[in-house]
C-alpha cells in the first residue's frame, strides 16, 4: 500500500479521514442537538453538519433538532472517549477513535458502556469506503466518495492526494445495504471558501436504513 503523504499534508489528510468517519456515525443519529445553524441547508437532505473550529456542529436531523460532537475536555484521562455527542447539554454517546477513520460508539462516556455501533474504513487503491456495523442487525457500506465536478484533484477522496488543495471539492458516495442495493447517499463538501471548511449531508432516503443499521441516540 502506498505510504501516506509526508509531513503536514499527511497529518491534514488523516484528520480529514477521521472527520469523514465521524460524519457517517453522526448521520446515523436521530437526537436533539444544540447550536444554531450557520451553514445553508440543502432542502433535499435530512442530515446536515459542519466543522466549526475544533468541533462538529449538527445543523439538522430528521426530527429537526441539532447538536454538537466535541472533545470531552482539555485533558483526556485514560479510557475516556475521544469525543462526546451531546443534545440539550446531555451526553448521548461516547466516541472512541480506535484507529485511523475507525470509530467505536458507546451508549455513554463509560468505556464499559455497551457498544452501539462501529464505523470502519476500507481502501480501494487508497480511496476510502466506510462500513457501518451495529452490534446486531444489518450492516451498510458506502461506495468510494466520487468527486461531483472534475478538475483540480483526484476523481475520488483518496489518501493519494498530495496536498490539501487536491482534496478540495464536493464528493458523494452511495450507501448500500447487505444485498448491494443503493439505500441513499452521503456527501462531503471541502473548501476554505465556503461557510465551513467541511460540510456533510445525507439524502432523505438514507434515514431509514441508517437508523436501522446504527440505532444510536434515538
**Which pLDDT score is estimated for 100?**
81
Burial class (CB in 10 A: 0-12, 13-18, 19+), 77: exposed
Segment 59-102, tens digit of pLDDT: 887 777 788 999 988 877 778 999 998 888 888 889 999 888 89
Q: What is the mean pLDDT of residues 20-41?
A: 61
d(CA 55, CA 92): 16
Q: What is the mean pLDDT of residues 11-27?
A: 64
Q: Is the Cβ–Cβ distance between 19 and 56 less than 8 Å?
A: yes
Segment 141-155, tens digit of pLDDT: 999 999 998 767 899
Cross-strand partners of 188: 171, 200
Q: Residues 15, 17, 21, CA angle at the centre, nearest 5°?
A: 120
**Which pLDDT score is estimated for 216?**
40
Q: What is the pTM of this model?
A: 0.76
**Which pLDDT score is estimated for 55?**
92
Q: Which residue has the cell 436504513?
A: 209
Q: Is the Cβ–Cβ distance between 1 and 155 less than 8 Å?
A: no
Domain ranges of the chain: 7-213
d(CA 198, CA 50): 6
Q: Is the Cβ–Cβ distance between 83 and 26 less than 8 Å?
A: no
Segment 173-202, tens digit of pLDDT: 999 998 999 989 999 999 999 999 999 999
**Which pLDDT score is estimated for 77?**
78
Residue 53 has pLDDT above 90, yes or no: no
Q: Which residue has the cell 455497551?
A: 114
Amino acid at each position: 500500500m502506498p505510504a501516506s503523504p509526508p509531513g503536514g499534508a499527511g497529518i491534514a489528510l488523516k484528520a480529514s479521514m477521521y472527520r469523514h468517519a465521524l460524519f457517517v456515525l453522526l448521520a446515523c443519529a436521530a437526537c436533539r442537538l444544540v447550536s444554531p445553524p450557520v451553514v445553508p441547508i440543502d432542502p433535499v437532505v435530512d442530515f446536515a453538519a459542519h466543522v466549526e473550529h475544533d468541533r462538529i456542529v449538527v445543523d439538522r436531523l430528521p426530527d429537526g433538532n441539532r447538536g454538537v460532537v466535541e472533545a470531552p475536555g482539555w485533558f483526556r484521562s485514560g479510557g475516556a472517549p475521544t469525543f462526546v455527542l451531546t443534545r440539550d447539554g446531555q451526553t448521548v454517546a461516547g466516541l472512541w477513535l480506535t484507529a485511523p477513520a475507525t470509530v467505536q460508539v458507546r451508549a455513554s462516556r463509560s468505556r464499559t458502556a455497551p457498544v452501539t455501533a462501529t464505523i470502519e474504513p476500507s481502501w480501494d487503491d487508497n480511496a476510502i469506503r466506510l462500513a457501518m456495523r451495529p452490534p446486531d442487525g444489518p450492516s451498510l457500506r458506502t461506495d468510494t466518495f466520487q468527486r461531483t465536478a472534475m478538475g483540480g484533484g483526484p476523481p475520488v477522496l483518496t489518501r493519494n492526494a498530495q496536498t490539501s488543495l487536491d482534496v478540495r471539492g464536493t464528493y458523494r458516495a452511495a450507501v448500500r445495504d447487505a444485498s448491494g442495493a443503493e439505500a441513499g447517499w452521503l456527501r462531503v463538501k471541502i473548501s476554505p471558501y465556503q461557510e465551513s471548511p467541511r460540510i456533510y449531508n445525507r439524502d432523505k432516503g438514507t434515514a431509514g436504513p441508517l437508523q436501522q443499521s446504527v440505532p444510536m441516540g434515538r
